Amino acid sequence: MKKYLIFLFVGLSFIACKSKTNSYNKKDINISLIASGNLHGTGSENIEKQNLVIKNKVDWTNLLAKMDATNNVSNTFEETDINFSQYSVIAVFDEVKSSGGHSIDLDVKRNTDKIIVEVIKNAPNGMATTVITQPFYLAKIKKNNLPIEFK
């Protein structure tokens, strides 16, 4: 009976050690949604498909001005006054789409040497509206010294 308890204890010890290593190497990062949606200016905002990390107020103000060039979308954002001494902004823009129903989500994880932002593109199922849209996703993330990589 003692042998079985020892084997059980040793086996559980190995499992516990392995799970600690995995959780240390890959952690979720908290991001705060600023806005997610679509631009409806048929591309007149002149924002290309791109992934950005914005680290200062000047670049943020310039981006907001471009986004608001045709329609004032920033008035619906959760916040526009970002403290860039504490946060950076992740901005993801898809290409201009010829139909509605498209959106973007982010899955952000950290490992020991970088932050990985996976861009998840969602498309409509079945019929979609015939409106020209450009999906975007804006979120703020606490500043750190790790590089940010988009996938």
Residue 9 has pLDDT above 50, yes or no: no
**Residue 113: what pLDDT?**
92
Q: Could you tell me if residue 61 is inside a domain?
A: yes
Structure tokens at 88: 């950076």
Residue 5 has pLDDT above 50, yes or no: no
Residue 19 has pLDDT above 70, yes or no: no
Residue 1 has pLDDT above 70, yes or no: no
| Higher local confidence (pLDDT), 150 or 24 | 150
**Which residues, including other chains, have CB under 8 Å from residue 24's CB and lie 6 or more apart?**
112
Q: Could you tell me if residue 18 is inside a domain?
A: no
Q: Could you tell me if residue 13 is inside a domain?
A: no
Question: In this structure, is the dihedral angle defined by the CA atoms of residues 76, 81, 87 and 93, taken in order, positive or negative?
Answer: positive
Q: How many structural domains compose the chain?
A: 1
Integer Cα distance of 100 and 80 in angstroms? 25
Q: Could you tell me if residue 20 is inside a domain?
A: no
Q: Could you tell me if residue 50 is inside a domain?
A: yes
Residue 141 has pLDDT above 90, yes or no: yes
Q: Could you tell me if residue 111 is inside a domain?
A: yes
Mean pLDDT of the chain: 84
| 129: confidence class by pLDDT, cuts 50, 70, 90 | confident
pLDDT tens per residue across span 33-88: 999 999 999 889 999 999 999 999 999 999 999 999 999 999 999 999 999 999 99
Q: pTM for the complete prediction?
A: 0.79
Residue 48 structural domain: 27-150
| 17: confidence class by pLDDT, cuts 50, 70, 90 | very low
**Residue 14: what pLDDT?**
41
**Residue 11: what pLDDT?**
46
Q: Could you tell me if residue 136 is inside a domain?
A: yes
**Residue 27: what pLDDT?**
67
Q: Could you tell me if residue 114 is inside a domain?
A: yes
Using CB atoms within 10 Å of the CB of residue 110, give its burial: 0 to 12 exposed, 13 to 18 middle, 19+ buried: middle
